[in-house]
Amino acid sequence: MPEDTINLIRENVIQGRITKDDEGMDEGMVGQPGVTELVEQALAEGLSIQDVITEGLSGGMDIVGQKFEAGEYFIPDMLASAEAVGAAMEMLQPRLAKSGIKTKGTVLVATVKDDLHDIGKNIVSILLRGAGYVVKDLGNNIDTQVIVDAVREEKPQFLGLSALLTSTMARMGEIIQALEENGLRHQVKVIIGGAPVSE
């Protein structure tokens, strides 16, 4: 039943299962299809990509968010679900343009020059992919000019900058300044993150 497949996708997003080998939250799920297998099944059944995304993937993440808010889920649970959605979105990516479905946008992320700490950036990337964004990760210890060039070429809606150290957090300001100087600041929203800029 097509509806069953959508429901199963949603349920497996909640369980945080990418493939049939994943355990999930409940007992006895190993061996049953995970989100990626179910998305393949949905496509084979001719279900609309729109329904797969909105009812299955996003629907599941909405419930995950509610569970997190209620204290029932922790960050690792939410990440597992987001990874499952991210994997499904990667599978669906080639079909999105054809079907006219737009993503929520592109986010370019990077850890700034002289800073190798990328845990936060990586976690945020997983969550953004799970929420339906296309994430382009430049990596860590990235030169300001490389970031400016990437903004010019990729034209992302958002730029996510990360720094863990108090000695490197000022780089984020320098990058914003460089975007201004290159006439790019108006076309991208900048999000900064990392322990020294968090309250």
Partner 1 sequence: MARQGILVDRPYERLTGEQVQLIHQSSMDILRDPGLISFNKEAVEVLDGHGAVIESVAGDHRSWKVSLPEQVVVEALKSAPRTVKLGARNPDNTVVMHGDEPKVYLITGSETNIWLDVDFPTYVHKSDPAREIKVPEFKPRRGTVEDLCQSARVCEHLEMVDGFIRNVNIQDRDITEQNKDVNKYFASLNNNTKHFMSGLTSLDQLDNVVRMAELIAGGEKALEDNPIISFITCLVKSPLQLVQDTTDTFIAVCRRGLPVAVSSSPQAGTTAPIKEAGIMAQINAEVLAGITLGQLVKPGTPVLYGSVPVRARMDTLNDSYGAIETSQYNIDCVQMARFYGIPNYSTSGVCDSKIPGQQSSVERLFSDIVVAMAGPQYLHCAFGLLDCNSVFCLLQAVLDDAHFRMIEFLLRQPRIDQAEMEVVLKQIRTVAATPQKLYINYIRPVLRSGELSGIYPFEGSGEADQVFELAHERMQELLAMPVEHIDRETTARIFEEVPGILPRLNVYEREN
User: Out of 2, 3, 4, 23, which residue is the one contacting partner 1 (CB under 8 A)?
Assistant: 23
Could you give the string, one character per residue 51-80, with x where binding to partner 1 holds by CB under 8 A and - elsewhere?
Answer: -----------------------xxxx-xx
- Does position 30 interact with partner 1 (CB under 8 A)? The reply is no
Under DSSP, the state recorded for 103 is -
Chain centroid to CA 175: how far? 23
Write down the residue that tokens 């964004």 correspond to: 133
Could you tell me which residues come within 8 angstroms of residue 50 by beta carbon, excluding any fewer than 6 positions away?
A: 99, 101
Q: How far is the CB of 164 from partner 1 (least distance, A)?
A: 15
Token pair of 114 as six digits: 């002289």
Compare residues 110 and 188 and give the one whose CB is closer to partner 1: 110
Q: How far is the CB of 198 from partner 1 (least distance, A)?
A: 13
Q: How far is the CB of 76 from partner 1 (least distance, A)?
A: 4
C-alpha span between 123 and 98 (Å, rounded) = 30
Could you give the string, one character per residue 115-144, with x where binding to partner 1 holds by CB under 8 A and - elsewhere?
Answer: ----x--xx--x------------------
C-alpha span between 154 and 164 (Å, rounded) = 25
**CA distances (Å), origin 132, targets 62, 73, 92, 109:** 12, 20, 11, 15
Residues that bind partner 1 (CB under 8 A): 16, 23, 25, 74-77, 79-80, 83, 119, 122-123, 126
